[in-house]
Amino acid sequence: MLVVMKAQATEEQVRAVCQKIESLGYRAHPIPGAQRTAIGITGNRGEVNPSALDELPGVAEVIQVSKAYKLVSRETKPDNTVVRFANSDATIGGRELCVVAGPCAIENPEQAFAAAERVAKAGARFFRGGAYKPRTSPYAFQGLGVEALKIMAEIRETYGLLIVTEAVDHESLDEVAKWADVIQIGARNMQNFSLLKHAGHAKKPVLLKRGMSATLEELLMAAEYVMSEGNYNVILCERGVRTFADHTRNTLDLSVIPAVQRLSHLPILVDPSHGTGKRNKVIPLSRAGVAVGADGLMVEVHPDPDRALSDGMQSLYPDQFDELMNEIRQIAPVVRRTVAEAPARVNAAKMRSAAGESAATL
């Protein structure tokens, strides 16, 4: 159910409607829009009786949202969601493509800084690196945990990159929310409902990756779990699904991008690294991801992929990442997007000293 307020409704009237909704035992989600404010109603006690809200001052209409997902739906919020950050002008879902790049896992300060320096110089505005790694084998590298989060916080200081990193359980999510800028929920946890609800209480945006066998509706319902708890900054990510194809690690489902954009206002990124599992396919699928209209890319880049502790086969060499950025800079205008220029904002002296000092200080 959705309460649409009149364009001239006052803040006080919006507040009064929210209070009424909460007094009926539901949750109210005010959603400011370009034209008017709407108030989403969620809860699991059955439908609200519209007559309880219809006549309240400032209410234009009370409508039924036809989809199972409510807050995620474009019916509820027609305008695209643009995720913003307190200390940066980078956005996700705006005109500028969001490029998240970095190694699969943070292995040590030297490796992390070497990757960060190159991705920052190439124009990425977000740095990724796993601190908590969900690995198929218990004997595979599991990540450095908080130590990795501290390394990435230094990277943010040095290069002005925003940090994206995965949480795998409640405890790691609390740590990630403290140190990073975006909390990633990985494919294997897309339907970990307890983790999704916990992320809904976090004060940082959530990057939600599609499960490897998840339908579009299941992905959107997972996002609904986060939003229903009050965290409206959710970014989706297509990272490939399991099919019978065996020439790639997963099958990157690019057709899901326009399908999501039709149904939802949430931004969506493409991850061609996990989506293909093969370095030689990452640039072509990145081009395709931008061309299909994704809001950005998440790409694995490693200074020495052949010695990476995880996902080396799909990690780009830094020179290849330069090439990727050059290519998407040319495609972006066709889909009315921009790509950040290689920054003057990276302070060269600071960078040099960071690269030299990182081993000693971290």
Q: What does the binding site for Mn ion look like in residue numbers (CB under 5 A)?
A: 104, 311
User: Could you say which of 239, 249, 265, 279 contacts ligand PEP (CB under 6 A)?
Assistant: 239
Residue with smaller CB distance to Mn ion, 58 or 277: 277
Measure the CA–CA gap between 69 and 236, rounded to whole angstroms.
14
Q: Judged by CB under 6 A, which stretch of 15-23, 93-101, 186-194, 282-290 contacts ligand PEP?
A: 186-194
Measure the CA–CA gap between 248 and 278, rounded to whole angstroms.
7
Q: Does 39 bind ligand PEP (CB under 6 A)?
A: no
Q: Does 186 bind ligand PEP (CB under 6 A)?
A: yes
**Greatest Cα pair distance in the chain:** 67
Measure the CA–CA gap between 289 and 275, rounded to whole angstroms.
11
216 neighbors 239 (Cβ within 8 angstroms): no
Residue 95: CB minimum distance to ligand PEP, A? 25
209 binds, among ligand PEP, Mn ion, none (CB under 5 to 8 A by kind): ligand PEP
Per the DSSP assignment, residues forming a β-bridge with 28 are 41
Per-residue mark of binding to ligand PEP, 199-238 (x: CB under 6 A): ----------x-----------------------------
257 binds, among ligand PEP, Mn ion, none (CB under 5 to 8 A by kind): none
Contacts with 202 (C-beta within 8 Å, 6 or more apart), sequence order: 173, 177, 183, 231
User: Could you say which of 41, 187, 266, 354 contacts ligand PEP (CB under 6 A)?
Assistant: 187
Per-residue mark of binding to ligand PEP, 268-307 (x: CB under 6 A): ------x---------------------------------
Interface with ligand PEP in residues 128-157 (CB under 6 A): 130, 134
Residue 57: CB minimum distance to Mn ion, A? 53
Q: Does 104 bind ligand PEP (CB under 6 A)?
A: yes
Contacts with 267 (C-beta within 8 Å, 6 or more apart), sequence order: 80, 81, 82, 83, 92, 93, 98, 235, 236, 295, 296
114 binds, among ligand PEP, Mn ion, none (CB under 5 to 8 A by kind): none
Residue with smaller CB distance to Mn ion, 124 or 220: 124
**Given the rule CB under 6 A, which residues bind ligand PEP?**
104, 130, 134, 186-188, 209, 239, 274
